Structure 1
Amino acid sequence: MIAAVNRLWGAAIAAVTAGAVAVSGGPAAAADGAIAGVDVSNWTGEVDWGAVTSGGGKFAFVQATEGVDYRNQRFEEQYGGALAAGLVRGAYHFAQPHESDGAAQAEFFLLNGGAWKADGWTLPGVLDLEDNPYKDRNGKNGCYGLSPADMVTWIKGFTDRYRQESGRRVIIYTTTSWWRTCTGDSAAFKANPLWLARWAADPGELPKGWKRHTFWQSAEKGALPGGQNTFNGTQDELEELANPPAEITVAGEARSRTRYTVTVSNTGPHPVTQIKVSGRAYGGQRVVKAPGCSFSGTAVRCEIAELGRGQKVTLSFTTRPGSAKGAVGLRFTVGAVRLTLSAS
């Protein structure tokens, strides 16, 4: 990705991603059937979004911020233009890891265009990690003066804060060579979608930890305005990335032969309502106490009216054993999740 701004220093800098390879004979084009998209910044200027859509583009990424003090002055125009053209779109932050910790830059990004919305049109935000384009200005190396361990800590600070505030895992844009050099080939972020930059005919080797890329930037320019990109999936999958389904996590513990707990957590980006929890005791036990739930004999039923993003509820159950010996416990069903709590 082209460094989107020369910060405070005047003339434009045409800095490319570390390890990006220019393709002889022209930029790589999206393969037949591939879902194409673009990335743009202040340096792109006014974007002809009609040309993007007529050329087959389905998504766009727009630079929102850089470091802790730069905002793309064209962001609203470009971001709004992409939406008006019917494109799924997302914002990206150009990292400057030497300027502040990762959490501070995530907050700056979130406050200035990087927040995710559950509107079906907004992709998770992007953390743009690439070779330092300002070496002669800031005196730092390609890794911004950070050791691999410090860089991993910085990235974790950014990704953790973004997920905490938005409920989404930030997309990581990088090259395989920069990732190897500057993070020491960390596999700590494999759960984050990967936007791979490689200006070549194919994506090539992926950074360590990722088994697939989600987006691929194949060229700086091409048939569509801005950087040339493809999505590694179907249109339905692209739309699901913008608006994922609700997600709940269920965990439990058998504290003793007669005391059990079940914790239901909302680990997705949306509020979840009317969560039904049903359970049945086995091993000769019957349920005798379940605050907030209804129970009779071996059966118990609970309903959680609503769980906001990041919220969780812990339910407690008490049983009375029968005369039988051996394993006892409770079997629960929460939506599609089945959980067995067993005590010997």
Structure 2
Amino acid sequence: MITGVKRLLLFAAIASVGMTGVAHAADGVPGVDVSNWTGEIDWPAVAAGGGKFAFVQATEGTNYRNPLFDSQYGGAAAAGLIRGAYHFAQPHESDGRAQADYFLQNGGNWVSDGLTLPGVLDLEDNPYKERNGKNTCYGLSVQDMVAWIKDFTAKYYEATGRRAIIYTTTSWWRTCTGDSKKFAANPLWLARWGSEPGELPKSWKNYTFWQSAEKGPLVGGQNAFNGSESALKELANPPAEVRVSGRAKGRTSYSVTISNTGPHPVTNVKLSGRAFGGQRVVKAPGCKFSGTAVRCVVGELPRGRKATFTFTTKPRKAKGTVGMYVTVGSVKLTLKAR
């Protein structure tokens, strides 16, 4: 028996941008990052000065919310900037899922409005060493830190369908995660002040954002998106995506599952199939069928949900290869049995 798993982007996919290995400086698309310490901001002036995006601190740990978050976050959007929220991690205080949940409930949730970037997990040197008595890595071992980050990012993905952006320095990542390679799916926001980003942590072959200075000419930190303005917009509004899998359960039974693995609900997903090997379709619940052909339509599939179709066939011969060809959008599967 043969199974198949493929993915289908329902509209233009986001192309990877950036360099591999040691990254080099690039102008990119300018943006800023701000927090409570930045105060009230003249966002129209930021936009007029060329700023295209902003990251705004929303939360820290599970007991701090930026009191200026609403005005800063809303003001950036009102001025036409693409914006995202970030969470300053306190890994020693509570587990990753708890902090992700606090972030989601206090400004970090992603919405499909074309203006919202995925949320950011801010991981950096412990600034409260004298207060909490912890080291740079908040007292966590490499293994515990990697597990903590996994918990945070997994919770965020479950809630939004987006991969949280990770803000960090190469030095901190090497020291506190052992230069873990487990987070390549999460966009990197690299912090390195200077004229070049320098060497990247091993999880990443390119950076998505680069913070090159603590203060910039606009307001707050100086940042650049590593790509075009259109690619930045695509990061805020990614394509819908479905995963198509199928298997032959035997010579007379086949199943196909369509899973919505992207951040958007999808509608009007069409499946067409054709039996081969001298057999015909005799049963297909929820679908139309005639002879060797079958057609199914998923009217609406919410994010994180799936639809499974089962087809029963009647072979003309007891031996020989039989199966079904299945097409969902641009995805084609061949399910075979003997």
TM-score after normalising by structure 2: 0.91
**Does the CA contact (< 8 Å) of 1:200 and 1:219 recur in 2?**
yes
> Counterpart amino acid of 1:212?
N
* Alignment match, 1:65: 59
* Alignment match, 1:210: 204
User: What SS does structure 2 have at the residue aligned with 1:61?
Assistant: strand
**Does the CA contact (< 8 Å) of 2:26 and 2:226 recur in 1?**
no
User: What SS does structure 2 have at the residue aligned with 1:57?
Assistant: coil
Query: How far 1:33 sits from its partner (Å)?
Result: 5.4
Q: Deviations over 1:259-317 (max 9, x none)?
A: 11111000011111111010111111211111100111111000011110100111101
Q: How many aligned positions are there?
A: 315
Q: Deviations over 1:35-56 (max 9, x none)?
A: 1000000001111212311221
CA distance in 1: counterparts of 2:314 and 2:205, whole angstroms: 49
Corresponding position: 1:160 with 2:154: yes
Corresponding position: 1:300 with 2:268: no
Q: 1:32 to 1:172 in 2, by over 3 A?
A: closer
Q: How does 1:30-109 map to 2 (within 5 A)?
A: 34-109=28-103
CA distance in 1: counterparts of 2:142 and 2:161, whole angstroms: 27
CA distance in 1: counterparts of 2:152 and 2:185, whole angstroms: 14
Residue of 230, 233, 253 corresponding to 1:236: 230
Residue of 287, 291, 308 corresponding to 2:285: 291
Residue of 301, 305, 309 corresponding to 2:303: 309
Q: Give aligned-pair identity as a percent.
A: 72
CA distance in 2: counterparts of 1:317 and 1:218, whole angstroms: 56
Query: How far 1:32 sits from its partner (Å)?
Result: 7.5
- Long gaps (5+) in structure 2: 1-24
- Long gaps (5+) in structure 1: 1-30
* Alignment match, 2:217: 223
Q: How does 1:182-197 map to 2 (within 5 A)?
A: 182-197=176-191
CA distance in 2: counterparts of 1:337 and 1:244, whole angstroms: 19
Query: How far 1:338 sits from its partner (Å)?
Result: 1.1
> Counterpart amino acid of 1:69?
N
* Alignment match, 2:126: 132
Larger relative contact order (CA 8 Å, sep ≥ 6): 2
**Does the CA contact (< 8 Å) of 2:274 and 2:292 recur in 1?**
yes
Residue of 250, 257, 264 corresponding to 2:251: 257
Corresponding position: 1:201 with 2:208: no
CA distance in 2: counterparts of 1:32 and 1:165, whole angstroms: 33
**Does the CA contact (< 8 Å) of 1:197 and 1:217 recur in 2?**
yes
CA distance in 1: counterparts of 2:146 and 2:184, whole angstroms: 13
CA distance in 2: counterparts of 1:283 and 1:180, whole angstroms: 56
**Does the CA contact (< 8 Å) of 2:27 and 2:224 recur in 1?**
no
> Counterpart amino acid of 2:93?
E
> Counterpart amino acid of 1:292?
G
Corresponding position: 1:110 with 2:90: no
Greater than 3 Å deviation, 4+ residue runs? none
> Counterpart amino acid of 2:218?
L
